[in-house]
Chains A and B, each alone.
Chain A
Amino acid sequence: KQEVTQIPAALSVPEGENLVLNCSFTDSAIYNLQWFRQDPGKGLTSLLLIQSSQREQTSGRLNASLDKSSGRSTLYIAASQPGDSATYLCAVIGGAQKLVFGQGTRLTINP
Protein backbone atom coordinates (compact mmCIF):
# COMPACT_ATOMS: atom_id res chain seq x y z
CA LYS A 1 0.00 0.00 0.00
CA GLN A 2 1.42 3.36 -1.08
CA GLU A 3 2.12 5.84 1.69
CA VAL A 4 3.27 9.41 1.16
CA THR A 5 5.00 11.41 3.87
CA GLN A 6 5.84 15.10 3.85
CA ILE A 7 8.40 16.76 6.07
CA PRO A 8 8.24 19.20 7.72
CA ALA A 9 4.56 19.49 8.63
CA ALA A 10 4.97 23.24 8.98
CA LEU A 11 7.64 25.72 7.98
CA SER A 12 8.00 29.44 8.62
CA VAL A 13 10.71 31.45 6.87
CA PRO A 14 11.48 35.14 6.20
CA GLU A 15 10.63 36.58 2.83
CA GLY A 16 13.34 36.22 0.21
CA GLU A 17 14.76 32.93 1.46
CA ASN A 18 15.08 29.84 -0.69
CA LEU A 19 13.47 26.75 0.78
CA VAL A 20 12.96 23.04 0.19
CA LEU A 21 9.93 20.90 0.94
CA ASN A 22 10.36 17.14 1.14
CA CYS A 23 8.16 14.27 0.07
CA SER A 24 8.79 10.54 0.35
CA PHE A 25 6.78 7.57 -0.87
CA THR A 26 7.01 3.89 -0.03
CA ASP A 27 6.30 2.23 -3.40
CA SER A 28 8.60 3.36 -6.21
CA ALA A 29 6.31 1.92 -8.92
CA ILE A 30 4.66 5.22 -9.80
CA TYR A 31 3.44 6.82 -13.02
CA ASN A 32 4.07 10.34 -11.85
CA LEU A 33 4.34 12.66 -8.89
CA GLN A 34 2.46 15.91 -8.54
CA TRP A 35 2.89 18.92 -6.32
CA PHE A 36 -0.18 20.96 -5.41
CA ARG A 37 -0.82 24.13 -3.51
CA GLN A 38 -3.87 24.61 -1.27
CA ASP A 39 -4.87 28.01 0.06
CA PRO A 40 -7.11 28.17 3.16
CA GLY A 41 -10.72 27.41 2.29
CA LYS A 42 -9.85 26.85 -1.34
CA GLY A 43 -9.32 23.95 -3.70
CA LEU A 44 -6.03 22.54 -4.88
CA THR A 45 -3.94 24.10 -7.61
CA SER A 46 -1.57 21.89 -9.55
CA LEU A 47 1.97 23.29 -9.53
CA LEU A 48 4.14 20.68 -11.20
CA LEU A 49 3.81 17.15 -12.53
CA ILE A 50 6.88 14.96 -12.91
CA GLN A 51 6.59 11.82 -15.00
CA SER A 52 8.30 8.73 -13.61
CA SER A 53 10.91 8.93 -16.38
CA GLN A 54 11.83 12.52 -15.51
CA ARG A 55 14.22 13.82 -12.90
CA GLU A 56 12.88 17.33 -12.49
CA GLN A 57 10.41 19.97 -13.62
CA THR A 58 10.60 23.73 -13.36
CA SER A 59 7.96 26.43 -13.38
CA GLY A 60 9.06 29.97 -12.58
CA ARG A 61 10.54 30.03 -9.09
CA LEU A 62 9.55 26.42 -8.46
CA ASN A 63 11.67 23.38 -9.15
CA ALA A 64 10.59 19.84 -8.33
CA SER A 65 12.91 16.87 -8.41
CA LEU A 66 12.16 13.18 -8.40
CA ASP A 67 14.35 10.26 -7.34
CA LYS A 68 12.05 7.35 -7.99
CA SER A 69 14.44 4.65 -6.85
CA SER A 70 14.82 6.17 -3.41
CA GLY A 71 11.18 7.22 -3.21
CA ARG A 72 11.86 10.93 -2.75
CA SER A 73 10.87 14.24 -4.22
CA THR A 74 11.70 17.80 -3.28
CA LEU A 75 10.02 21.08 -4.12
CA TYR A 76 12.44 23.99 -4.20
CA ILE A 77 11.02 27.50 -3.94
CA ALA A 78 13.42 30.30 -4.80
CA ALA A 79 13.22 33.85 -3.43
CA SER A 80 10.10 33.16 -1.38
CA GLN A 81 7.31 35.76 -1.20
CA PRO A 82 4.42 36.23 1.26
CA GLY A 83 2.07 35.10 -1.53
CA ASP A 84 3.73 31.70 -1.43
CA SER A 85 2.16 31.06 1.98
CA ALA A 86 -0.10 28.03 1.61
CA THR A 87 -0.18 24.30 2.23
CA TYR A 88 1.86 22.31 -0.28
CA LEU A 89 0.76 18.78 -1.05
CA CYS A 90 2.68 16.01 -2.74
CA ALA A 91 0.81 13.14 -4.43
CA VAL A 92 1.76 10.08 -6.46
CA ILE A 93 -0.12 7.89 -8.91
CA GLY A 94 0.82 4.22 -9.10
CA GLY A 95 -0.55 1.05 -10.54
CA ALA A 96 -3.85 1.44 -8.75
CA GLN A 97 -4.48 4.53 -10.90
CA LYS A 98 -5.33 6.68 -7.92
CA LEU A 99 -3.67 9.77 -6.50
CA VAL A 100 -2.26 9.17 -3.00
CA PHE A 101 -1.59 12.35 -1.05
CA GLY A 102 0.79 13.28 1.71
CA GLN A 103 -0.52 15.32 4.60
CA GLY A 104 1.06 18.49 3.37
CA THR A 105 3.53 21.11 4.54
CA ARG A 106 2.01 24.34 5.81
CA LEU A 107 4.31 27.12 4.63
CA THR A 108 4.33 30.64 6.06
CA ILE A 109 6.48 33.36 4.50
CA ASN A 110 6.99 36.27 6.88
CA PRO A 111 7.32 39.76 5.35
Chain B
Amino acid sequence: DTAVSQTPKYLVTQMGNDKSIKCEQNLGHDTMYWYKQDSKKFLKIMFSYNNKELIINETVPNRFSPKSPDKAHLNLHINSLELGDSAVYFCASSQDTPDTQYFGPGTRLTVL
Protein backbone atom coordinates (compact mmCIF):
# COMPACT_ATOMS: atom_id res chain seq x y z
CA ASP B 1 0.00 0.00 0.00
CA THR B 2 2.93 2.29 -0.85
CA ALA B 3 1.67 5.86 -1.19
CA VAL B 4 4.25 7.16 -3.69
CA SER B 5 6.32 4.62 -5.57
CA GLN B 6 9.18 5.03 -8.02
CA THR B 7 10.87 2.63 -10.38
CA PRO B 8 13.63 1.79 -10.69
CA LYS B 9 15.28 2.32 -7.31
CA TYR B 10 18.75 2.27 -8.87
CA LEU B 11 19.72 3.14 -12.42
CA VAL B 12 23.27 2.85 -13.77
CA THR B 13 23.82 3.85 -17.36
CA GLN B 14 26.35 5.19 -19.82
CA MET B 15 26.70 8.78 -20.94
CA GLY B 16 24.59 9.59 -23.95
CA ASN B 17 21.86 7.07 -23.20
CA ASP B 18 18.17 7.88 -22.77
CA LYS B 19 16.38 6.67 -19.64
CA SER B 20 13.05 7.02 -17.87
CA ILE B 21 12.02 7.00 -14.24
CA LYS B 22 8.42 6.19 -13.36
CA CYS B 23 6.37 7.52 -10.48
CA GLU B 24 2.93 6.54 -9.26
CA GLN B 25 0.86 7.76 -6.34
CA ASN B 26 -2.24 6.07 -4.93
CA LEU B 27 -3.24 8.93 -2.64
CA GLY B 28 -5.68 10.53 -5.05
CA HIS B 29 -3.62 13.71 -5.05
CA ASP B 30 -3.91 16.31 -7.79
CA THR B 31 -0.33 17.58 -7.77
CA MET B 32 2.91 15.71 -8.43
CA TYR B 33 6.53 16.82 -8.41
CA TRP B 34 10.04 15.83 -9.41
CA TYR B 35 13.01 16.85 -7.26
CA LYS B 36 16.74 16.36 -7.71
CA GLN B 37 19.06 15.77 -4.75
CA ASP B 38 22.66 16.34 -5.70
CA SER B 39 25.84 14.94 -4.16
CA LYS B 40 25.75 17.64 -1.48
CA LYS B 41 22.28 16.43 -0.48
CA PHE B 42 20.65 19.66 -1.64
CA LEU B 43 17.05 19.07 -2.77
CA LYS B 44 15.70 21.23 -5.57
CA ILE B 45 12.42 21.14 -7.41
CA MET B 46 12.50 20.39 -11.12
CA PHE B 47 8.86 20.12 -12.21
CA SER B 48 5.36 20.23 -10.84
CA TYR B 49 2.14 18.99 -12.44
CA ASN B 50 -1.42 19.66 -11.36
CA ASN B 51 -4.08 17.44 -12.91
CA LYS B 52 -1.72 16.52 -15.75
CA GLU B 53 -0.88 20.17 -16.43
CA LEU B 54 2.66 21.53 -16.02
CA ILE B 55 2.68 24.35 -13.48
CA ILE B 56 6.32 24.59 -12.42
CA ASN B 57 9.23 24.15 -14.77
CA GLU B 58 12.47 25.15 -13.15
CA THR B 59 15.61 25.92 -15.07
CA VAL B 60 16.51 22.40 -16.06
CA PRO B 61 18.01 21.31 -19.39
CA ASN B 62 15.41 20.45 -21.99
CA ARG B 63 16.92 16.96 -22.07
CA PHE B 64 14.61 16.39 -19.10
CA SER B 65 10.99 15.92 -20.08
CA PRO B 66 8.24 15.06 -17.62
CA LYS B 67 5.17 13.23 -18.83
CA SER B 68 1.90 12.80 -16.98
CA PRO B 69 -0.39 10.24 -18.63
CA ASP B 70 -2.92 10.66 -15.82
CA LYS B 71 -2.97 12.44 -12.50
CA ALA B 72 -1.67 9.37 -10.64
CA HIS B 73 1.48 9.11 -12.73
CA LEU B 74 4.35 11.46 -13.46
CA ASN B 75 7.28 10.00 -15.37
CA LEU B 76 10.62 11.62 -16.01
CA HIS B 77 12.43 10.99 -19.27
CA ILE B 78 16.03 12.06 -19.66
CA ASN B 79 17.75 12.21 -23.05
CA SER B 80 21.48 12.17 -23.77
CA LEU B 81 22.49 11.55 -20.17
CA GLU B 82 25.52 13.43 -18.85
CA LEU B 83 27.83 12.79 -15.89
CA GLY B 84 26.30 15.75 -14.05
CA ASP B 85 22.88 14.12 -14.14
CA SER B 86 24.05 11.64 -11.51
CA ALA B 87 21.90 12.29 -8.45
CA VAL B 88 18.95 10.96 -6.52
CA TYR B 89 15.61 11.88 -8.09
CA PHE B 90 12.55 12.06 -5.89
CA CYS B 91 8.93 12.08 -6.91
CA ALA B 92 6.34 13.59 -4.56
CA SER B 93 2.65 14.35 -4.48
CA SER B 94 0.23 16.58 -2.59
CA GLN B 95 -3.48 17.25 -2.67
CA ASP B 96 -2.82 20.83 -3.71
CA THR B 97 0.28 22.95 -4.11
CA PRO B 98 0.70 24.32 -0.58
CA ASP B 99 -0.30 21.07 1.14
CA THR B 100 1.92 18.46 2.77
CA GLN B 101 4.01 16.67 0.20
CA TYR B 102 4.54 12.92 0.30
CA PHE B 103 7.77 11.66 -1.16
CA GLY B 104 8.70 8.48 -2.94
CA PRO B 105 11.80 6.46 -1.93
CA GLY B 106 13.97 8.02 -4.63
CA THR B 107 15.82 6.74 -7.70
CA ARG B 108 19.60 6.83 -7.55
CA LEU B 109 20.86 7.57 -11.06
CA THR B 110 24.52 6.99 -11.82
CA VAL B 111 25.87 8.03 -15.19
CA LEU B 112 29.22 6.50 -16.13
Contacts and interface: CB of A to CB of B under 8 A. Distances in A.
Contacts, number: 52
A99 B40 CA distance: 18
A12 interface: no
Contact of A45 (B41, B48, B55, B103): B103
Interface string B1-20: 00010000000000000000
B44 interface: yes
- B contact residues, range: 20 to 34
23 contacts: A36-B103, A41-B106, A42-B106, A43-B4, A43-B104, A43-B106, A44-B43, A44-B92, A44-B103, A46-B100, A46-B101, A46-B102, A49-B100, A93-B97, A93-B98, A96-B56, A97-B56, A97-B98, A99-B33, A101-B42, A101-B43, A101-B44, A103-B40
Interface of A: 31-32, 34, 36, 41-46, 49, 87, 89, 91, 93, 96-101, 103-104
Q: Which 10 A-B pairs have the closest CB atoms?
A: A44-B103, A31-B98, A43-B103, A101-B43, A43-B105, A97-B97, A98-B45, A46-B100, A49-B100, A93-B98
